[in-house]
């Protein structure tokens, strides 16, 4: 459909002489200015024409004009013998405008009443691509491929070329753009042959955060440099490397830079040549490596796994404490710990600490007591001894019993047994006996 606003030009219509199909009045001068949208021309067809015939349509006529250029002047009828009738062939305007002028004199023969004319017009797309090359020497409409569209046209380029900003000229393609794959290959236009002049190509390598881009230039590297007193300088041709937060670096000369670690996941290469000189260009393979996090420190009484010489982005490490120790982070005990190497080359959590566990106060023993034998009070592997208040109470089967603070934070008699000591009363053993020595 045509993009015509409601109030815009009509894309088709009808034009009739005054009073048509009644005879037209004398002394008329009426003009119609027809307009259709830009990119279209007007196809005008007379469906009926009955105007007083005269030589050169001298008395009555309908004139078709395009920008004051006469396209036709008509009179007569279909059967009249003059050449002034338009017939049924359409009249095409060169542009999107057309003017009709209907003119009559003051006399009409009485024997016949002429009714004037009726014409239909419609907008027709202009095939700009078929138009002859302008004579002003500006060259063809499109330098390579012209595509006619409804109301307009588009220029396109063959493979390896790209459309210039003037939208009509095709230039050798830079092959630039954004490269977001983990590996890739870039080269300058025409490489290894001399590059076109006046190039301005940009190549952006942008990979996921957490990766570092490595550029590996091939040995064949040639960008024109200018020898100055200070040495070779990239005055007119250069390849500029830019990474965020770093000063850009310009490369030129005949020696390959080899492998460059950019230390960034975003690298921009701008290749520039002016309209003179000679550069054969460059070629490179880029690759990416995960960023490296610092080797985690040592956790006293704990273990960091896995133990590697280097840790990279997305690597996880875990910390476990030795038996009898617990994980502590920010003053709180945690059940487990893991941290990941982040895209900014930092661990997302600092290492925790391992603190010795505490079994708490040993349970008191009714009619008995408990005392520490060894180790820091209540801590892992410290031992306590339970005893009963003898001679009135005794532990079942034993005098004293020793408990150890085990890794499960329980006081245990042995590793496998949880046992609560009980003081049993001693029966029938008074502290004083009835003694009798007399016999």
Partner 1 sequence: IIGGSEAPEHTIPWQVLLNINSNRGGGMVIADRWILTAAHVVVHQGQQSPAQSIRIFMGDTDIHRMETSFVHPASVHVHPEYNDQDGLNFNNDIALIKLQEPITFNAAVMPLCLPAKNATYTTGLVGLVSGFGTTNDGGRQMITNKLKYVMLPVVDQEKCRESITLWKKIRPNTPDLTDNMFCAGTPEGTQDSCQGDSGGPFSVDINGRSWAAGIVSWGIKCGQRGKYGVYTKVINYLDWIKQVMQEN
Q: Tell me whether residue 297 or residue 428 sits nearer to partner 1 (CB atom).
A: 428
Give min distance, CB of 385 to partner 1, in A: 21
434 counts as binding partner 1 under rule CB under 8 A: yes
Build a one-symbol-per-residue string for 320-359: x at contacts with partner 1 by CB under 8 A, - elsewhere: ----------------------------------------
Tell the residue number behind the tokens 């965020």, with chain if given. Answer: 244
Query: What span, in angstroms and rounded, lies between the C-alpha atoms of 237 and 275?
Result: 10
Using the rule CB under 8 A, which residue among 429, 437, 438, 439 binds partner 1?
Answer: 429
DSSP H or E run through 62: strand 61-66
231 counts as binding partner 1 under rule CB under 8 A: no
Q: Tell me whether residue 159 or residue 429 sits nearer to partner 1 (CB atom).
A: 429
Question: Residue 131: how many CB atoms within 10 A of its CB?
Answer: 14
Using the rule CB under 8 A, which residue among 20, 161, 312, 393 binds partner 1?
Answer: 393
Query: What span, in angstroms and rounded, lies between the C-alpha atoms of 101 and 15?
Result: 11
Chain centroid to Cα 91, Å, comes to: 52
Measured in degrees and rounded to the nearest 5, phi and psi for residue 35 equal: -135, 140
369 counts as binding partner 1 under rule CB under 8 A: no
Applying CB under 8 A, the span of 140-148, 281-289, 329-337, 422-430 interacting with partner 1 comes to 422-430
Q: What is the DSSP string of 167-214?
A: SS-EEE----EEE-SSSEEEE-TTTTSPPPSS-EEEEEEE--TTEEEE
Give min distance, CB of 395 to partner 1, in A: 15
8 Å CB contact between 142 and 28: no
Give min distance, CB of 365 to partner 1, in A: 13
Query: What span, in angstroms and rounded, lies between the C-alpha atoms of 62 and 117?
Result: 8
Using the rule CB under 8 A, which residue among 427, 437, 438, 439 binds partner 1?
Answer: 427
430 counts as binding partner 1 under rule CB under 8 A: yes
Applying CB under 8 A, the span of 92-100, 134-142, 205-213, 431-439 interacting with partner 1 comes to 431-439
392 counts as binding partner 1 under rule CB under 8 A: yes
8 Å CB contact between 403 and 378: no
Applying CB under 8 A, the span of 18-26, 84-92, 326-334, 427-435 interacting with partner 1 comes to 427-435
431 counts as binding partner 1 under rule CB under 8 A: yes
Query: What span, in angstroms and rounded, lies between the C-alpha atoms of 55 and 289?
Result: 90
Helix, coil or strand: residue 405: strand
Using the rule CB under 8 A, which residue among 425, 437, 438, 439 binds partner 1?
Answer: 425
Using the rule CB under 8 A, which residue among 261, 367, 398, 420 binds partner 1?
Answer: 367
Measured in degrees and rounded to the nearest 5, phi and psi for residue 417 equal: -125, 130
20 counts as binding partner 1 under rule CB under 8 A: no
437 counts as binding partner 1 under rule CB under 8 A: no
DSSP H or E run through 293: strand 292-293
433 counts as binding partner 1 under rule CB under 8 A: yes
Give min distance, CB of 330 to partner 1, in A: 48
397 counts as binding partner 1 under rule CB under 8 A: no
8 Å CB contact between 324 and 381: yes
> Which residues sit opposite 316 in a β-bridge?
340
Q: Tell me whether residue 263 or residue 389 sits nearer to partner 1 (CB atom).
A: 389
Query: What span, in angstroms and rounded, lies between the C-alpha atoms of 321 and 257?
Result: 49
Binding site for partner 1 (CB under 8 A): 367, 392-393, 425-434
């Amino acid at each position: 459909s045509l993009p015509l606003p409601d109030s815009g030009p009509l894309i088709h219509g009808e034009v009739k002489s005054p009073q048509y199909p009644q005879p037209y009045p004398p002394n008329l001068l009426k003009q119609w200015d027809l307009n259709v949208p830009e990119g279209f021309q007007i196809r005008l067809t007379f469906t009926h024409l009955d105007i007083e015939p005269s030589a050169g349509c001298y008395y009555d006529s309908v004139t078709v004009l395009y920008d004051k250029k006469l396209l036709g002047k008509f009179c007569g009828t279909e059967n009249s013998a003059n050449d002034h009738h338009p017939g049924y062939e359409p009249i095409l305007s060169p542009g999107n405008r057309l003017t009709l002028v209907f003119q009559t004199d003051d006399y009409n023969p009485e024997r016949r009443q002429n009714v004037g004319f009726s014409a239909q017009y419609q907008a027709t797309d202009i095939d700009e691509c078929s138009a002859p090359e302008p004579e002003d020497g500006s060259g063809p409409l499109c330098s390579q491929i012209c595509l006619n569209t409804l109301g307009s046209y588009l220029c396109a380029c063959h493979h390896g070329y790209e459309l210039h900003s003037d939208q009509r000229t095709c230039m050798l393609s830079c092959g630039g753009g954004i490269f977001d794959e983990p590996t890739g290959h870039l080269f300058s236009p025409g490489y290894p042959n001399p590059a076109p002049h006046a190039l301005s190509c940009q190549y952006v390598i942008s990979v996921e955060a957490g990766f570092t881009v490595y550029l590996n230039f091939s040995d064949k590297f040639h960008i024109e440099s200018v020898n100055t007193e200070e040495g070779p300088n990239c005055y007119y041709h250069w390849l500029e490397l830019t990474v965020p937060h770093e000063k850009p670096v310009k490369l030129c000369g005949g020696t390959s830079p080899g492998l460059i670690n950019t230390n960034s996941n975003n690298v921009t290469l701008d290749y520039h040549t002016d309209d003179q000189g000679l550069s054969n260009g460059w070629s490179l393979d880029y690759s990416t490596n995960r960023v490296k996090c610092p080797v985690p420190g040592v956790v006293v009484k704990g273990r960091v796994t896995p133990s590697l010489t280097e840790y990279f982005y997305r690597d996880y490490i875990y910390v476990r404490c030795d038996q009898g120790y617990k994980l502590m982070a920010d003053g709180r005990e945690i059940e487990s710990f893991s941290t990941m190497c982040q895209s900014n080359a930092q661990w997302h959590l600092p290492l925790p600490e391992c603190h010795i566990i505490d079994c708490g106060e040993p349970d008191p023993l009714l009619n008995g007591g408990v005392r520490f034998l060894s180790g820091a009070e209540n801590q892992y592997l410290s031992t306590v001894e339970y005893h009963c208040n003898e001679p009135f109470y005794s532990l079942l089967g034993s005098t004293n019993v020793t408990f150890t603070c085990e890794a499960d934070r329980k006081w245990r008699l042995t590793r496998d047994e949880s046992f609560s000591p009980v003081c049993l009363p001693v029966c029938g053993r008074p502290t004083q006996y009835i003694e009798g020595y007399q016999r």
